[in-house]
Amino acid sequence: MNPEIIQNIADVEGFSLLGIAPAISPQGYPELLRWIEDGFAAEMNYFADRKEAYRHPNAVLDGVRSIITLAYPYPASSSTGEKQSMTGKVARYASTGSDYHDVLHPKLKRICREITDQAPESKNRGVVDTAPLMEREFAQLAGLGWIANNTLLINKTLGSYFFLASVLTSLELETSIPHHTTHCGTCTACITACPTDAFPEPGRLDAGKCISYLTIEHRGSIPRPLREKIGDWVFGCDICQEVCPWNRKPSRRNSQAKTADEPTFSLELPRLFLMDDEQYRKAFRKTPMWRPRRRGMLRNAAIVMGNQGDPSALTSLKLGLHDAEPLVRGSCAWAIGNLQFAPGRTILLERKSIEQEPAVVEEIDAALNRFPSEFSANQS
């Protein structure tokens, strides 16, 4: 099959880059196993559960011979750029509110149909980060870029502001020239800028410390030592990309992506505390914010409010302190303690008098202990 046919339809579908890699065992597979064994996958057990499947792309498509690797640019933000009171920052890949899986899967299906029309005997499957496929390894093998110190794929022209997608095919296509070189040099901006020290060494990520993991994938309470370091990030994080020189140089940045100097999309936080489960579902079911569910987003919102120091946040945090979810109540208790405004102590004491969940009581006690002693004396 002529690769130009695939390139043409990929161009029509809006993909910025295309490369073809052979369907072989990825060179980085042993490092993936070491990463899992070292506990750096945190609670993402699906890596360990499917670790054998990552060994070869045959596990994703039986009989695969070639992997068409594609890059799709991050969307332009719909943000006005005006910083509102009590808002949380959202990672730029989610800035439009659309789930990128819903955007990319139909495009991949159309590419697969075109290949099938041209080669009816072929088997084809499109995937976007949910199959056990080491996408970045194959993207590098397909010449799209190199795996950087922050573990993301970087392209000299696009930087790292793009999604990776793949089409696996049983056809044996002409492969691209691999990207053998790396271009991070001595730069460690991404490593030093990470507020939670999520990179134990260049090219390795400890997911359990990553703000993106903590605010999206993590289901439980966020460890206390990391809460203040989350800052304003209510969903995801872009810090290690924002500081990257390959994203900051205008001549090497795709015009469809947000620049490092543009404001990141933000989410109004108080309205989240006014939503019940059904209202949250209606508002966010088709967006990336559905991934952490309502309880996870309110946990994140509480932590961000606790970090911002706005006394008007107490209204929402008091509401969250009476939420049905213990995770939300505990996070709100911490946030109130972090704000240390005098009315917050009364709010915490009132809740403690009726709280039945031991973990939440412990959070309330820890929060109360953070208030200056004169607050206690004035209210005794």
Q: Which residues are catalytic?
A: 129
Nearest in space to 333 (alpha carbons), one of 307, 297, 373, 367 = 367
**Measured between alpha carbons, how far apart are the two ends of the chain, in Å?**
82
Q: Are 104 and 131 in contact (CB under 8 A)?
A: no
Q: How many CB atoms lie within 10 A of CB 100?
A: 18
DSSP letter string over 1-33?
--HHHHHHHHHHTT-SEEEEEE----TTHHHHH
Nearest to 84 by CA among 378, 318, 308, 256: 308
Exposed e or buried b per residue across 196-231, where buried means at least 16 C-beta atoms within 10 angstroms of its C-beta: bebbeeebbbbbbbbbbbbbbbbeebbeeebbebbb
Element (H, E) at 69: strand 66-73
CA-nearest of 1, 114, 152 to 65 is 1
Q: CB-side exposure of 108: number of CA atoms within 13 Å?
A: 25
Reduced to 3 states (helix: H, G, I; strand: E, B; else coil), residue 167 is: strand
